[in-house]
Amino acid sequence: KATVSVLNWHLHPSSTMATTAALWSKLRAASANKVVPRIINSGQGSHLTIGEKPYLNFCSSHYLGFATNPRLKQAAKDAIDKHGLGTGYRTLAGTHKLHVELETAIAEFKGTEAAVCFSSAYAANASAVQTLMGKEDIVVSDQLNHASIIDAVKVAGVQNKFAYAHSDMADLESKLQAAQELQKKPKKNGEHPLILIITDGVFSMDGDLAPLPKIVELAKKYDALTMVDDAHGEGVLGKGGRGVVNHFGLEGDVDIEIGSLSKAFSVMGGFIAAKQPLVDLYLMAARQRLFSIALTVPDTAALLEAVKMLGESEDLVEKLWSNVHYLRKGFTDMGFDIGHSETPIIPVMLGDDQLAKDFSAKLFEEGVFASPICFPMVPKNTARVRVIASASFSQADCDAGLAAFARVKAALM
């Protein structure tokens, strides 16, 4: 009787209603604390229009100014006129010739045998890990890797996971030694587990680079594969923006390169660039590709134009770096701590969370849009206002931004 009574309690409609009512109560309470982003009603250029007022755009990752570039816009318009808008599933009727041309162009640009595109870099990371790695394989990952990498490992269900201290190569080697011990035990199918080292190329909170040459050296020593998420390096680092692998002269030594098509390329999507057999595996088995709609026609056409432009000239990349050096000097001359950034991501370190929020709010009053980065996005007492340089900035833009920082510093510090 007691068992029946418990079962009846679980199945009774009123108990189900009580459970869902509790859920809705929690959700409504959480809604009271939601953060509503600022609504932008302009293109993502050097300035943004928010509430009919222009603001200097110090917080977008459109490193090269492609988001409002006339050539990209025209390429998208022309493609719409010729091919329409939507595509479909790549495995059915959704592979357009523009997709194939884009993947070929990306592979050539990156210096790899092949490339495959996805609807986002998040999906590319998930595919890269889930398609290749099984539950009994081994992942060794930098502690500060992007959330999309962390989620990719979770989605793959990998049970043997190691996290090494950020960019600490001694700790990476110790984790690889432990992984190699695990590797001695065969999987259920008789094969030995794969070891995959995963790192960001550029770490987006501090702007520092992964010590990729040493990572590759250790990967070879311990028979591991390497995967680099270069979301913030594409279009920024290396010759003509070819990325962090090119920057270090490691073409052919990194097994999997993940790229974003929404940051420097300013459209949307992501890609995996690798040797042909590995790309073929992703073409045939990546669930994020098989069961998701492909990039639209205008997106793909605009991306093709962006890759073409970077192949034609290094002017935009050089302009970006000119602005980076100018802004870095300006901040350091004012006495700001900008950490150890090696990229266009410039963290203006403030320490206290509330100070960072107040500083950002005051900058907004001054006509500068720059985001505060606080705990839990970064460790406690390391809050900062993150500035992202762009080739779209004129020197006057840079001067205006620096002057605003000086005024806010005088007011708050």
Which has the closest alpha carbon to 291: 130, 157, 113, 134? Answer: 130
Residue 114, CA distances (Å) to 96, 276, 292, 336, 343 in order: 17, 5, 20, 43, 27
Is 263 one of the catalytic residues?
yes
Distance of CA 110 to the CA centre of its chain: 17
Question: What does the DSSP 8-state code read for residue 55?
Answer: E
Whether the CB-CB separation of 389 and 343 falls below 8 Å is answered with: no
Q: What's the CA gap between 194 and 124, in Å, rounded?
A: 20
- Catalytic pick among 47, 110, 263, 319: 263
- Catalytic pick among 204, 262, 390, 392: 204
Whether the CB-CB separation of 184 and 195 falls below 8 Å is answered with: no
Q: Which residues contact 362 (CB under 8 A, 6 or more apart)?
A: 408, 411, 412
Token look-up 């839990």 returns 376
- Based on its alpha-carbon atoms, the radius of gyration of the chain, rounded to whole angstroms, reads 24
Is 390 one of the catalytic residues?
no
Q: Where are the beta strands (DSSP E) in 189-344?
A: 195-200, 225-229, 256-260, 270-274
- Catalytic pick among 47, 232, 247, 319: 232
Is 357 one of the catalytic residues?
no
Q: What's the CA gap between 353 and 374, in Å, rounded?
A: 5
Both tokens of 59, joined, read: 């917080």
Whether the CB-CB separation of 140 and 215 falls below 8 Å is answered with: no
Q: What's the CA gap between 49 and 312, in Å, rounded?
A: 31
Which has the closest alpha carbon to 271: 118, 146, 147? Answer: 118
Q: What is the set of active-site residues? A: 204, 232, 263
